C-alpha cells in the first residue's frame, strides 16, 4: 500500500486529502454537535449535491465550462445554502428546524433535475455521492488544503468566542460578544468543510464524519479540548482505515470510512457499559 502511494499520484491526493479532512471535519463537528446543528450539516451536503450536479450538467452542455471543477459550484451552493438556512431560521423563529427539511429537499430536488437533464455522468456522480479513492485530482487536493487553512485559522482565532457561543448562546449575546457575526462565519466555514470533504467521503456521508467521531469522543471525555482531540483521533482512524480498506477491497471510501467510525462508536459504547457495570459491581 505504501509503495502504491509513492507510485500513484491519485493515491497521494486521496490520502493527503483524507488526512486533512480527518482533522477538519471532526474539529468543526464538535461545535456542530454541541450546538445541536447536526442536521444542518446534512441539509448543506444535499445542497452541495445540487451544485455538483449543476456543474456536471453545465460542463456537458457548455463547451467553455467543460473543465470547470465541480467542487467550485458545490462550494458556492453550500455557502448559499448556509445563508438561506439562516434566513429561514430567522423567518420561522418558533419553528427553526423547518429550515432543514426545506433546504435539504430543495438540494435533492435541484440535484435530481440536473442529474436527469444530463444523462451519462453516473460514474462521476457515484464518486460524489459515496466518495472515491481514484477521483481526487491535484486541484481537488489544493481546494481541500485551502479549506483546511480557512477552517484552522477560524477555529484558532475565534476559539474562545466559539466555545462561549456553543455553551450558552444567550450568555454570549448578553456579554457583548458579536454572536451573530461569529455564527454567520461559522455557517460559511461549515459549508466549506462539507463541500471540501465530499470528494473523499461523498455527499451522502459527509455529515457522518462530522458527527460520529464526536459522538464517540463525547462518551469518554469530560473537557471540551479533550473532546476535540479525541474526535480528531477517531476521525483519523476512520479515514485511514476506511481509505486502506476501500483501496484493497475496491469499495466506495465513504462507506468504509463511515462503517469504521460506527464500529469505533460501538466499541466505545461497549467499553463504557463494561466500565459502568464493573463500577456498580464494586459498589455492591
Partner 1 sequence: MVAPLIDIQDISFEYEETKALDHISMKVEEGDFLAILGPNGSGKSTLLKIMLGLIKPSKGKIELFGVDSKNFKNREWIGYVSQKSNSFNSGFPATVKEVVAGGLAKKTGLFHRLPKTTHQQVVEALEAVSMEPFIDRSISELSGGQQQRIFIARALIAKPKVLILDEPTVGIDHENVQAFYDMLARLNQDKNITMVLVTHDVDTVTDRITHVACLNQTIHFHGYKEQLHTMSDEKREAWYGHSVRKIHHIGGSHT
Residues that bind partner 1 (CB under 8 A): 34, 36, 157-158, 160-161, 163-164, 166-168, 170-178, 217-218, 221-227
Nearer to partner 1, 157 or 270 (CB): 157
Nearer to partner 1, 8 or 163 (CB): 163
Nearest residue to 76 (alpha-carbon basis) of 106, 44, 105, 108: 44
Nearer to partner 1, 98 or 157 (CB): 157
Nearer to partner 1, 7 or 223 (CB): 223
Nearer to partner 1, 124 or 169 (CB): 169
List own/partner pairs for 181-188 with CB under 8 A and 24 or more apart: 182/158, 183/86, 184/86, 185/154, 185/158, 186/31, 186/154, 186/162, 187/40, 187/82, 187/83, 187/85, 187/86, 188/79, 188/82, 188/83
Nearest-approach distance from CB 47 to partner 1, in angstroms: 26
Nearest-approach distance from CB 34 to partner 1, in angstroms: 6
Distance CA 96, CA 36 (A): 12
Nearest-approach distance from CB 161 to partner 1, in angstroms: 6
Nearest-approach distance from CB 230 to partner 1, in angstroms: 10
Label residue 87 exposed, middle or buried (CB < 10 Å: 0-12, 13-18, 19+).
exposed
Nearest-approach distance from CB 89 to partner 1, in angstroms: 17
Nearer to partner 1, 94 or 280 (CB): 94
Nearest-approach distance from CB 13 to partner 1, in angstroms: 34
Nearer to partner 1, 92 or 142 (CB): 92
Nearest-approach distance from CB 165 to partner 1, in angstroms: 9
Return the C-alpha cell found at 124: 462521476
Nearest-approach distance from CB 35 to partner 1, in angstroms: 8
Nearer to partner 1, 126 or 163 (CB): 163
CA dist list (Å): 112 to 57, 62, 109, 219, 262: 11, 19, 5, 38, 29
SS3 sequence of 31-78: HHHHCCCHHHHHHHHHHHHHHHHHHHHHHHHCHHHCCCCHHHHHHHHH
Amino acid at each position: 500500500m505504501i509503495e502504491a502511494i509513492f507510485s500513484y499520484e491519485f493515491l497521494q491526493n486521496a490520502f493527503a486529502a483524507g488526512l486533512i479532512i480527518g482533522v477538519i471535519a471532526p474539529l468543526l463537528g464538535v461545535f456542530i454537535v454541541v450546538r445541536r446543528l447536526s442536521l444542518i450539516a446534512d441539509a448543506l451536503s444535499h445542497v452541495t449535491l445540487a451544485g455538483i450536479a449543476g456543474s456536471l450538467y453545465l460542463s456537458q452542455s457548455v463547451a467553455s465550462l467543460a473543465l470547470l471543477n465541480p467542487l467550485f459550484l458545490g462550494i458556492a451552493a453550500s455557502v448559499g445554502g448556509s445563508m438561506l438556512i439562516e434566513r429561514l431560521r430567522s423567518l420561522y423563529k418558533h419553528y427553526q428546524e423547518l429550515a432543514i427539511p426545506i433546504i435539504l429537499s430543495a438540494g435533492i430536488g435541484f440535484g435530481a433535475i440536473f442529474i436527469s437533464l444530463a444523462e451519462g455522468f453516473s460514474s462521476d456522480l457515484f464518486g460524489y455521492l459515496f466518495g472515491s479513492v481514484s477521483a481526487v485530482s491535484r486541484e481537488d487536493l489544493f481546494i481541500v488544503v485551502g479549506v483546511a487553512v480557512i477552517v484552522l485559522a477560524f477555529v484558532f482565532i475565534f476559539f474562545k468566542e466559539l466555545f462561549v457561543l456553543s455553551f450558552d448562546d444567550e450568555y454570549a449575546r448578553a456579554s457583548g460578544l458579536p454572536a451573530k457575526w461569529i455564527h454567520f462565519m461559522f455557517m460559511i466555514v461549515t459549508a466549506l468543510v462539507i463541500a471540501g470533504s465530499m470528494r473523499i467521503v461523498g455527499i451522502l456521508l459527509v455529515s457522518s464524519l462530522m458527527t460520529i467521531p464526536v459522538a464517540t469522543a463525547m462518551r469518554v471525555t469530560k473537557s471540551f479540548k479533550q473532546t476535540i482531540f479525541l474526535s480528531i483521533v477517531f476521525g483519523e482512524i476512520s479515514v485511514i482505515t476506511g481509505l486502506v480498506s476501500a483501496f484493497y477491497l475496491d469499495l466506495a471510501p465513504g462507506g468504509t470510512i463511515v462503517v469504521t467510525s460506527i464500529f469505533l462508536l460501538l466499541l466505545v459504547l461497549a467499553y463504557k457499559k463494561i466500565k459502568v457495570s464493573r463500577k456498580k459491581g464494586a459498589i455492591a
